[in-house]
Structure 1
């Protein structure tokens, strides 16, 4: 069959339909992690570039200043001057920035140099924002290949309270990463790599490159100490927020091993630097010796910081146990705080205005606190002090008459019922009776009083434990008593034991003798 003889139906029948071409899914989170690292690294440098863009908004001509260079110098100074417990002093950083700012524009005034230094430092702190932090938006691919935008919040320089009550400056990990040109780098591996690089450069006599490597090693040392400091601060706030079961003990063990290795390594480097400084050939000039001397100071500072870090690591365990005891036995808060959104804003939003105003007025009236009283005037004070004293009554002020309210009588039994019961229970001392007989007499003598048998039964039960001492001291002649001899009570209304109720005579002569002795 020729091609010309094929019909359209035959062609459609023999043509194989190909599936539509679908786009290849984007790499997953693991493959995209490298891109995310670079995007975050780029975000950390954005505030420094933004300084050069916004310097045109300053009142005056500041185009000659390289603000990003000043910012890097400020981060460098804060990093090197902060300690484990405290940070860098704000005024000291400004004073040390002034020579670099003045070198960029030597013909400008000292006041302008100081203004530039303070402006750069305040922008690194991000003064004026709510949380004093920076935010960058970058995109990654989710597990399903969808493009997801994420927020990256970071800080470069932050203000922290000091032990003496002052405010100090500390650089964050992001700021240190800007200095060394890396992001999210493992502290231990970066420190080892920097010191190996430093040792190789010194052995080859490249002291200029060795100085840069030594400064990077010192930055990593500071970052390692910052990691431990944040862990201890979180422990002081809440021991449950830090994993002291496995993560922190492993970190402390690794850190102690790291410090011991670095201490031996840095001492060997220090010996090689001193040897290179002392044995420098004359043809290399004084610059070689100066760089060697600077390297000695930098490595000494690294050794000092490692020694301080080791002492803090050894104190971490006792600090955790002390904080655990303190927080475990701390007195709980008297009452929970107020959730403004859940307890005030959310319930009020659906209400009409006239109903919501009453609630907000009451809340702010109680939340505003007490009003400050007006200042005392001298004229009022003098008048009060010079006023003659008011005459007082000799017998004092008249006492107000109390308002007496008659207490209602809520007794179940009346006085007549008590008299009738006393008459029934007035038994001869030598003729006790059964409770069943007394109940029958009460019903026979007072058929119209159904409550009297209950009073007889109550008095008989009370007489089963008579207060002999009280009756003896009060001078009573007779005492009602009741005893159980094992006989069961046969009565239509009451059950239990058929008590034997009788009257006992008290020793009147003995009571009189006792009262005479007491008198």
Structure 2
């Protein structure tokens, strides 16, 4: 018995009794999900060959998936603990691998292929620059559930010098080593043991592949620690420093100690195999293995340094984030603190504060670095003749904006006149509404709107802008008795502001 599946249905009904059911248990379901995720991570590489027909030109002779794997490999090996891989360096090292596939083509075309492959793996053009795959799992009741798997292969990250660098993700490293979601420590130990056995047996070609996989796992281990430290710098509470990170540091230090012993022993065996080999190909592979293992030792030394600095970094960040004083700066009122005082000054005196404000308010400007090619083009390009008055500007088509306001200017003047109360004679909102209703049936709505707005008057803004009178409304608990409005019967009045204090403050600002 089969059940028809619609593409838009997220969950299907369980099969009928007696029908064949999927493998029971969470272990079988997890294994299926891991294999499906492994396939999803390779999909962007296969998609490169299917999308190359969309490029303007003949690119069928290029194996884009191979170029994509080379790009992931180069980014992984060129990124450091603190900074990622430089885009220009990665592109420069991709060019020989692209050019060897089609030597008859031009260098410009090779550069375009390399840049297109790298930007495709970054997924330039998408919103979050990531990939998404849909896979299915089986629930405990046998139901089929579709899930989204979001991942990235190469991502752009900011560097400490302000530049943008490239980093490969865990999914990209898993694509390189042919695994997914593997425990880093166990995979590294297995790779080291496998490497040592292959070297002892003289299988240097297989040993080189195992050594490269061991180096990828070392990079992945360092990335796990780097992400934890970066998260600590942003928010120390977001990282589990009670158990998870200390366990990670202890395991990593023990792991590094074991790796040092294994790698030094492996390095001795490789050098022995290199010196005793008579086959030139054997010597070349042994020499390459020496370089790879030396790079592994260098990365382990760097990782050990970061591990020893992790504890002091956590304590320093905890002190900085816990005891940092909150910012006491207040916002700037451009009208009250800058524009209003400047309008009363002569131009000769007003230029000094405006120059100081705009010099600091526009922010920093990055100086442009001059290149020799740009300078030569600029000096050799003849000047373009321009009109004395510039190009003719088109006449704009102006359309009158319709006046869709509910209240007219006459109604606003009447409401403001009604609310122009003496400072020592406040009135109830109910009386103001009754008086407004005698003048105009719509006027009470405008009076009520202005009164409610005066319940929280902007005293500081009015003070800085030099206003001498301010309308206010206070709720004393009396209910409003009105045929059209409900709520509180506010006490509405006018307050006089300190004109002398405002004049003194302006004199001090000048």
User: Conserved in 2, the CA contact under 8 Å of 1:79 and 1:219?
Assistant: yes
Q: Taking structure 1 as the reference length, what is the TM-score of the superposition?
A: 0.59
Question: Corresponding residue for 2:75?
Answer: 78
Partner of 2:37: 40
- Shift of residue 287, structure 1, vs aligned partner: 1.0
Asked if residue 192 in structure 1 is aligned to residue 189 in structure 2, the reply is: yes
Distance 2:262 2:423 in 1: 94
Aligned match of 2:93: 96
Deviation (angstroms), 1:44: 0.1
In the alignment, is residue 23 of structure 1 matched against residue 10 of structure 2?
Answer: no
Query: Scaled by the length of structure 2, what TM-score is found?
Result: 0.61
Displacement of 1:407 after TM fit? 10
| Contact 1:160-1:167 at 8 Å conserved across structures | yes
Does the residue aligned with 2:125 lie in a helix, a strand or coil? coil
Task: State the match for 1:387 in structure 2.
Answer: none
Q: Distance in 2 between matches of 1:333 and 1:255?
A: 39
Q: Displacement of 1:146 after TM fit?
A: 1.3
Computed over aligned residues only, the root mean square deviation of the Cα atoms, in angstroms, reads 2.1
Matched, 1:261 2:258: yes
Worse-superposed segment, 306-315 or 324-333 = 324-333
Q: What corresponds to 1:310 in structure 2?
A: 304
1:270 equivalent in alignment to 2:267:
yes
Deviation at 1:143, TM superposition (A): 2.2
Tell me which residue corresponds to 2:442. none
Distance apart, 1:278 and its partner CA: 1.1
**Residue pair 1:70, 1:101 contacting (<8 A) in 2 also:** yes
Change beyond 3 A, Cα 1:107–1:332: same
Give the equivalent residue in structure 2 for 1:508: none
User: Could you say which residue in structure 2 is the equivalent of 1:110?
Assistant: 107
Match of 1:9 in 2: none
Alpha-carbon separation, structure 1, partners of 2:323 and 2:140: 45
Matches of 1:331 and 1:148, distance apart in 2 = 49
Q: Secondary structure at the match of 2:135?
A: strand
Residues 462-515 of structure 1 show CA distances to partners (whole Å, capped at 9, x for unaligned) of xxxxxxxxxxxxxxxxxxxxxxxxxxxxxxxxxxxxxxxxxxxxxxxxxxxxxx
Q: Hey, what does 2:65 align to over in structure 1? A: 68
Gaps of 5+ in 2: 1-15, 330-360, 363-388, 390-421, 425-510
Equivalent position to 1:149, from 146, 151, 171: 146
For residue 292 of structure 1, the aligned residue among 286, 298, 319 is 286
The structure with more radius of gyration: 1
Could you tell me how far apart the structure 1 residues matched to 2:25 and 2:280 are? 56
Native 8 Å contact 1:28 1:142 kept in 2: no
Q: Give the 3 Å change call, closer, same or farther, for CA 91–147 of structure 1 in structure 2.
A: same
Which SS does the other structure have where 1:104 is aligned?
A: coil
Aligned to 2:211: 214
- Structure 1 pair 22/209, CA: closer, same or farther in 2 (3 Å)? same
Partners of 1:217 and 1:246 in 2: CA distance = 27
1:24 is displaced (CA, Å) by: 5.2
Among residues 108, 114, 131, which one is paired with 2:128 in the alignment?
Answer: 131
Report the number of matched residues.
Answer: 319
2:100 is paired with a residue whose SS is: helix
Aligned to 2:167: 170
Per-residue Cα deviation, 1:205-247 (whole angstroms, up to 9, x for no partner): 1111111110000000000000000111111111111110011
User: Using the alignment, how far apart are the partners of 1:77 and 1:212 within structure 2?
Assistant: 15
